[in-house]
A and B are shown apart, each in its own frame.
Chain A
Amino acid sequence: MGMTMTQKILAAHAGLPEVKAGQLIEADLDLVLGNDVTAPVAIGEMKKMNVDCVFCKDKIALVPDHFTPNKDIKSAELYKCVKDFAKENEITNYFETGRVGIEHALLPEKGLVVAGDVVIGADSHTCTYGALGAFSTGVGSTDMAAGMATGKAWFKVPSAIRFNLTGKPAKWVSGKDVILHIIGMIGVDGALYRSMEFVGDGIQYLSMDDRFAMTNMAIEAGGKNGIFPVDDLAIEYMKEHSTKEFTVYEADEDAEYDEEYTIDLSALRPTVAFPHLPENTKTIDEVGEVVIDQVVIGSCTNGRIDDMRIAAKVLEGRKVKDGVRCIVFPATQAIYLQSIEEGLIQTFIKAGCAVSTPTCGPCLGGHMGILAKGERAVATTNRNFVGRMGDPESEVYLSSPAVAAASAVTGKISGPEELGL
């Protein structure tokens, strides 16, 4: 029986000729990731182990991006814990405030992940790197500790769901709309324990930033990982950003899938997930009148250059509605700088937006944009759980950058078409 892309990558890293769904394996890791919230717990666990040092100082990435720039004294202690550990262990890929970015935008940009890699990260959105044809998945701090010490992790080989994407998406439909549509279709546990493999002629119309947004949210369907085949666009991206050698794995023709879906991208509309689950989706035509207090444009899902460009295109020459706060945070310093060079930041500031240094802050209700009781936000982030962005009685609506920017202008959930775009 054939193997899926994910199964082939796992087999190669376990030193096995083949693996089957359900099999327990131990795989070699190409990269172990942690942030300022999860790494301190992992560092504490690693100290309990009978090891003197990390398995490889070049294969660990420590990215303090959650409560940074340090939001309070306790967060500053977490940051310092990560910093001291990085220094002690001479970690190559530790990123100080000012050079740091949101981890899942930063690592591909820095060329630290390429096709064929196996990556674990103590952050659930580690599944993002599947856009490059890597196997990557979120784990907890104890797994991170074990990974840092041994360079290995145990996995149950996942079965897979195949999403055959066809057609070309319409003007304002992005990767975010595609993944929200899929989560709306299969539910927040629709891909539980499984891989989500995205294939088909339609992927040629999805930019790398579209694909990163899609694999990023595989976890919101319960998936173990999301993955794309490696095409010319992905190869071009890796050559531009990385000097690492990459390996392209293709699914066997007779690979087995638990389920298969065909999705016509040309039929999709901008899509919004209503509170309090990413599966509560409606198309922009079905949203009705939802008045908002805040807009957040950024995050590991939608803080990349394409996202900044789309938001700026909508906000160009327009103003954020009176009484609405619009916060834009490019995901990395390179994206921030490019946004300045392209004049996007000027557009945001002239429109009345706050522009922030890269941080996960508002997405998880950490800092830099917290909601009061009863307030509503449209956000290009990935979760709209109860209390996610602040008070347990606040609400988060998930959307693409185009819908978020248009909503900032009208003060209610709106598509760009409402602005005549």
Chain B
Amino acid sequence: MEAKGRVFKYGDNVDTDVIIPARYLNVPDAKELAKHCMEDIDVDFVKNVKEGDIIVADKNFGCGSSREHAPLSIKASGVSCVIAETFARIFYRNAINIGLPIIECPEAAKGIEAGDIVKVDFDSGMIYNETKGTQFKGQAFPEFMQKIIKAEGLINYINNK
């Protein structure tokens, strides 16, 4: 399993209120939510994002509210992977549970810029910056989480058990 796309780059502490503002939470539908994804920090994101694109951010990505609407809106906007130096814990859990691939890698967060073309190999945890010709080793998931991701989320994992 791998992801490849153009990078949207953000800084520290991207919170769930800017990923999807509460004023849109009166609708639970992921596609509707995706229309407003990131709009309070990047009004152009929704206009420019394409299927397969990748978000790269610095530390504590997804801090704040437990709203699963945040990873759902990112996934529904077409993003194939989020790479960050660190993730806030509820976002990390939610992303795994809904099957949005995420990967922690401080070196990649530093070595990738907006617009770079990046490829991620989830089996090996390798991240390739094709624009710059560099590569990084991201942190692989523990086996238990890999099982949830392979089942494409917690609900399927439990149903299959």
Contact = CB atoms under 8 A, between A and B. Distances in A.
Interface of A: 24, 37-38, 40-41, 44-45, 48-50, 66-67, 71-72, 74-75, 78, 121-124, 126, 138-143, 145-146, 149-150, 154, 188-189, 192-193, 219, 222, 224, 277, 364-366, 383, 385-388, 392
Interface of B: 13, 15, 17-18, 21-23, 25-28, 40-41, 59-60, 63-69, 71-72, 86, 88-90, 93-94, 97-98, 142, 144, 153-155, 158-159
Specify which of A44, A50, A140, A277 lies most central, judged by the most chain B CB atoms within 10 Å of its CB.
Answer: A140
B155 A49 contact: yes
Contacts of A277: 13
Contacts of A121: 66
Nearest to B18: A386
Contacts, number: 131
Given A37-B67, A124-B66, A140-B68, A74 B158 contact: no
Given A24-B142, A49-B159, A50-B159, A140 B66 contact: yes
Contacts of A146: 97, 154-155, 158
Given A41-B68, A145-B155, A192 B88 contact: yes
Contact of A222 (B28, B63, B72): B63
Contact of B64 (A66, A124, A149): A124
A192 B89 contact: yes
Contact of A41 (B28, B60, B154): B28
Given A189-B63, A365-B21, A386 B40 contact: yes
A97 B154 CA distance: 32
11 contacts: A37-B22, A37-B25, A44-B28, A48-B155, A75-B26, A124-B90, A140-B93, A141-B68, A142-B68, A188-B13, A385-B15
Given A192-B86, A222-B89, A139 B28 contact: no
Contacts of A37: 22, 25, 67, 69
B150 to A, nearest CB: 15
A49 B158 CA distance: 8
A143 B23 contact: no
A215 to B, nearest CB: 16
Contacts of A192: 60, 86, 88-89
A29 to B, nearest CB: 14
A387 B21 CA distance: 7
Determine which residue in B28, B69, B155 has the highest number of CB atoms from chain A within 10 A of its CB, and name it: B28
Contacts of B18: 385-387
A67 B21 CA distance: 14
Of the candidates B67, B86, B98, the one having the most CB atoms from chain A within 10 angstroms of its own CB is: B67
